[in-house]
Amino acid sequence: MAVHPLRPGDPRAIGPLRIEGRIGQGGQGVVYLGEFPDGVRAAVKVMSGGIDRSFAKELAAARKVDEFCTARVLLADLDHDPPYVASEYIDGPALSAAGPLRGAALTRLAIGTVTALAAIHRAGVVHRDFKPGNVLLGPDGPRVIDFGIARLADATATTGHPAGTPPYMAPEQLSGGAAGPASDVFAWGSTMVFACTGRPPFGADTFAAVAYRILHAEPDLGDLPEPLRSIVARCLDKDPSRRPSARDVLLELLGEPAAEAEALSKGARAAAGPAPVRRRALLLGAGAAAAAAAVTGGLLWRARPGEGPATGRGASTSTAGAPGTGGTSQGAAPSPSTNPPSGSGAPASEPPDSGAPGSPTASPDPSGTPASDPTSEPPAENPTDLAIAVETALAVKPLADLAFDGGLDQSSFNARAAGRVRYLPGATYSGASSDFAVRMNAAEIGAADITVLWRDGADRGTYLNGRKTAKLTKDWDLYVTMLVAMASVGVVLDLVTHTSRIDRAGRRYAGGLSAAAAPSSLREALLRISGLEDDRLKDTRLVWRLELDAHNRPSLAELTWRMPIENEQLSSTFTSHYRDWRDGTIAPPQ
């Protein structure tokens, strides 16, 4: 599938690269097809938000990864505005859009991808988001991409805010532990099951169901053949200490002992072979490529294909934007990534940004539907447990009555809304996770009936006073943006999983974090409704409260945005009351 044409507002050049087209877009930014002045083509990932600069040591290690079944970084400039990373352009589909694989093709894939992991780990780097979308099937064999990018764009360290894509996350990531090489091995095992069967071993439905199975259930290996089946089973052990290393897996697949450097070379040679045929249309296009982290603090460098990384050639004079978050791949359609840290405390006051990791509690199996609606035990203050409990409860009864009240402090931008909201189970944690049908009364422009409907995250339709509109007026667009961002249950759950410490008293939960570290959908909404520049978010803070009913469904969600102005602090509050959760849908106005 051809690279997509550039859109209005897309850059025509990034650094020395001429931009030729758009490959795709994910939570970390947009990936473009670029060309250097000498004609070398590259995939250019332009990072949204900013870059956390505290991981320079690990980023420096990333550029030392040997070229064994990985896509090389050609140029990176973290001081450019916006920051970008340019990598080899790989002409081939992602594994997520090919297969299922059998026989020699599956063996080559297994050897090639674990060779890449062994090389990555030998350089002291952890991938953190290994999945089918981050494996490209090039003409010379599989290539692993995006190693290091998840942490590069994640402003909270490994133990406080792990990156990942739920069906391929390890148990320790879901329970708030550190992501290490063993986590990558677990993800590799899940990816091999997908490559053979077309589905991950713990399912790919709602986050709650997938997380429960990863933590408590045995993997479904399908018809994965031996000897790969036994190797993958060990890689999917719940205990990271019992999983083999990537090097051990590679040596076992090669069937002979060897020195590590020799094993990597043998693995790369064994992985080379024809790429499998495509199974379905590629969402982001053939030729998607890597954008791996590979620079330290203000250095700009470039490496040519076949050469080692170049040394620094000077520092950029531009500055990066505010810190952001991200975590989707470039080689396949963006997948929701969930980042659940953990903590504990008591909600007497706003908690600090970080706390001691807690332990997850066992959750009821979310795959079944209870015959009655008994009172549920309140979830622990662990972010993962809290999000799983709420999503599990809403999977059965997703529709509620809504009363919303919110706006900007010391301004006329305020509104109230009353009507219905429906959570869409399995949707990405974002504003696209809830349908709305409300009567909104805006202080500046009056009242209107608003209906917002979504399907699989794509806008199904916005209705103003019963009439579908392709584009709202600027004023109504800002009010609807506020409603969707502040009252969507998915945004609330996303905020929960971004918070490193949660305080709890009974069924009341509270947390706080820098606005610059908030979910991207919430950051974008705050910037739009306030008119602030992106770099101002780092000076502001979000504090939230969540109250659950006896069945772990939200009854109140309150978000306060605190902004220091000279010697004052403005506090803008957005409050959503939910009641009478039930089954049902929201239909378009007739």
Phi, psi angle pair for 113, to nearest 5°: -75, -35
Strand locations in 443-540 (E): 446-455, 458-464, 467-469, 502-505, 508-514
Phi, psi angle pair for 306, to nearest 5°: 90, -5
> How far is Cα of residue 315 from the mean position of the Cα atoms in its chain?
30
- CA separation (Å) from 197 to 101, 158, 535? 8, 31, 45
For the annotated catalytic residues, the residue numbers are: 129
Q: Left if phi > 0, otherwise alpha if psi is -120 to 50, otherwise beta: which for 144?
A: beta
**Which H helix or E strand runs over 407?**
strand 399-407
CA distance 16 to 72: 18
> How far is Cα of residue 587 from the mean position of the Cα atoms in its chain?
30
Residue linked to tokens 């990072």: 47
**Which H helix or E strand runs over 563?**
strand 554-565
Look at residue 485 and give its three-state secondary structure: helix
Residue 431 DSSP label: G
Residue 262 amino acid letter:
E
CA distance 521 to 360: 27
Phi, psi angle pair for 107, to nearest 5°: -60, -45
- What angle (nearest 5°) sits at the alpha carbon of residue 77, between those of residues 76 and 82? 120
- CA separation (Å) from 227 to 10, 106, 231, 272? 48, 12, 7, 20
Residue 278 DSSP label: B
Return the biggest CA–CA distance within the chain.
75
Tokens of 106: 């599956």
User: Which among 3, 253, 225 is positioned nearest to 113, based on CA atoms?
Assistant: 253
What sign has the CA pseudo-torsion 468, 473, 474, 478? negative
- What angle (nearest 5°) sits at the alpha carbon of residue 84, between those of residues 83 and 89? 175
Residue linked to tokens 């002409």: 91
Contact between 551 and 378 under an 8 Å Cβ cutoff? The reply is: no
Helices 246-254, 260-271: inter-axial angle, 10-degree rounding: 60
Residue linked to tokens 């002045």: 37
**Which H helix or E strand runs over 490?**
helix 489-497
